[in-house]
Chain A
Amino acid sequence: MSGAPSDTGVWVYEDFSPGQSLGDHAVTLDAAHIGHWTAIYGEPAAGDRVPAGMLVAAMMEAYLNAIQPRPPGNVHASQKLVFHRMARAGDRLNAQVSCLAKERRKERGWVTFGVVLSTDGRDVLSGEIRTIWAR
């Protein structure tokens, strides 16, 4: 998905609809990702299995790149995660990003996005990102 669908220049609340696909996005768990991870959390555990949090980071990367440009001021309110299996360094993850739900509450637009990470056709992580969308 590239570019905002509305003429506002950014993705706004009205652009989203439950069930809407926001595209597939690839994230490779390459040396750069592992290097950034290590700078924050320290060396991953032994072996080539990546830390679970690195999958969360990959989910966020896919989600952020799926919906651009974005308005400033979005709030990440809550997060659901279900891990299905782990991934290994070098794996190329496919992320399917979608809009799961949205609602207006107290003049705020709440949007829930789904991201499913998979590799070789097998699910790795399912996540739900609940946001207060700024516009």
Chain B
Amino acid sequence: MSMLEPAALPDELATVAIETGPEIVASYAALTDDYNPIHLDPAFAAGTAFGRPIVHGTLGLNLVLEAIERTFGEVPATLSLDARFVRPVPVGTAIRAGGRLRDAAAGLYEVFVETSAGERAVEGTCTIMPGATPETKGTNAS
């Protein structure tokens, strides 16, 4: 984890994108042990309000973290993130994640995951505290 100064915060995070095909979703199910049929079974999903399988929410959210790591080279010393899953993503949809600096002094970025059509699936903020050190943060940083 690295220390950052406000001036080191870029205006935009790197954009990271993936295609969320069935194989990708199956891999995420195996990674998280989340085999909910809403993600994996078209017949089951057809009987739900979504009508077809949807991507695990944190599969997309992790793209935001990938964007942060790609931008800074590693996870900054202090990183917090608060996000809402605002729209389901049908399996097979291309998604991308990124972020824009909103308050450099506070280290505050607006972050998002959106489809290739620009529909937001995840919205939120992350805070990258400039100048923080791993030893001065957290609740159990012994």
Q: Do A and B bind each other?
A: yes
Residues of A within 8 A of B (CB): 32-33, 36-37, 39-41, 45, 49, 51-53, 56-57, 60-61, 64-65, 72-73, 75-86, 118, 121-123, 126
**Option from B62, B74, B84 in Cβ contact (under 8 Å) with A77:** B84
- Asked whether any CB of chain A lies closer than 8 Å to the CB of B106, the reply is no
- Asked whether any CB of chain A lies closer than 8 Å to the CB of B116, the reply is no
Determine which residue in A41, A56, A77, A126 has the highest number of CB atoms from chain B within 10 A of its CB, and name it.
A41
Complex Cα distance, B33 from A13, in Å, reads: 22
Contacting pair A45 B134 (CB below 8 A): no
Residues of B within 8 A of A (CB): 1, 18, 23-24, 27-28, 30-34, 36-38, 48, 56-59, 61-63, 65-66, 68-69, 73-75, 78-85, 124, 134, 137-142
Complex Cα distance, B68 from A127, in Å, reads: 18
Complex Cα distance, B33 from A35, in Å, reads: 14
Contacting pair B74 A49 (CB below 8 A): yes
Determine which residue in A49, A57, A80, A121 has the highest number of CB atoms from chain B within 10 A of its CB, and name it.
A57
Q: With A118-B140, A122-B140 in contact, is A79–B31 under 8 Å at CB?
A: no
* Inter-chain contacts of B38 with A (CB < 8 A): 72-73
**Option from B59, B84, B139 in Cβ contact (under 8 Å) with A123:** B139
A to B contact number (C-beta, < 8 Å): 126
10 pairs, A vs B, C-beta closer than 8 Å:
A39-B24, A40-B18, A40-B59, A52-B68, A53-B65, A57-B32, A78-B83, A79-B83, A85-B141, A123-B140
Can you add 9 more A-B contacts, CB < 8 Å, to A60-B58, A84-B137?
Answer: A32-B30, A40-B18, A49-B74, A77-B84, A78-B82, A78-B84, A78-B124, A82-B79, A123-B139
Please name the 7 residue pairs, one residue from A and one from B, whose CB atoms are nearest each other, closest first: A53-B62, A36-B31, A84-B138, A123-B140, A39-B27, A52-B65, A78-B84
A60 to chain B, nearest CB (A): 4
* Inter-chain contacts of A75 with B (CB < 8 A): 85
Complex Cα distance, B115 from A70, in Å, reads: 29
Q: Which residue of B lies closest to A76 (CB)?
A: B57
Determine which residue in B56, B73, B74 has the highest number of CB atoms from chain A within 10 A of its CB, and name it.
B74
Contacting pair A86 B75 (CB below 8 A): yes
**Option from B24, B30, B75 in Cβ contact (under 8 Å) with A83:** B75
Contacting pair A78 B69 (CB below 8 A): no
Complex Cα distance, B80 from A71, in Å, reads: 30
B73 to chain A, nearest CB (A): 8
* Inter-chain contacts of B82 with A (CB < 8 A): 78-81
